[in-house]
Amino acid sequence: MQNFIVPVAHYAAEVNFVVKDNDIVGSQHIGTVSVPLEHIYGGGKIQGFFPILNASGKPCKVGAVLSLSIQYNPIEQLSIYHHGIGAGPHYPGVPGTYFPLRRGGTVTLYQDAHVPDGCLPNLRLDNGHNICMGNVGVTSLTQYAVLDA
């Protein structure tokens, strides 16, 4: 049995589990198990055997099922994030990651991310800014450096 904790930050109608064979080279898609979001959004654990469906929505093979257990936990219920990253301001790393937390790194913004206004939290950056470059009309890092000087 495998156990995964997967932080999510995207809107979705369902959670899809894609099942592939275990060939060493060139694994093939066998089918998909979909769990509608309304079944898990309430926070209850959903578990059982779910049929693996092919691209046309029919069982890929008689008796082919995926045994799974899934539960959604809202971030408000995860106390590890109540103080930001980690267990507090002096926590030495990011939970569930291989590399330790470091200062002075760079971030590449995902310019194609489209999020409705008002659904993101207000974040305060190290230099006191609380808005992203695109929100102030900055189109390059050079312009940002000049504005920040």
For residue 125, what pLDDT band results from cuts at 50, 70 and 90? Answer: low
**Which pLDDT score, from 0 to 100, does residue 8 have?**
78
**Residue percentage of the chain with pLDDT more than 90:** 23
Find out whether 66 and 49 touch, Cβ atoms under 8 Å: yes
For residue 51, what pLDDT band results from cuts at 50, 70 and 90? Answer: very high
Taking CA atoms, 49 is separated from 24, 26, 68, 73, 112, in Å, by 26, 27, 7, 21, 37
Task: Tell me which of 32 and 101 has the higher pLDDT.
Answer: 32
For the entire predicted model, the pTM comes to: 0.54
**Which pLDDT score, from 0 to 100, does residue 81 have?**
61
Matching residue, tokens 């080279």:
25
| Mean predicted confidence (pLDDT) in 112-121 | 70
Q: One-letter amino acid identity for 133? A: M
HSE-up (13 A, CA, CB side) for residue 18: 5
Q: pLDDT tens across 24-48, in order?
A: 787 888 999 999 988 888 888 999 9
Q: Give me the sign of the Cα torsion angle 142, 125, 115, 100.
A: positive
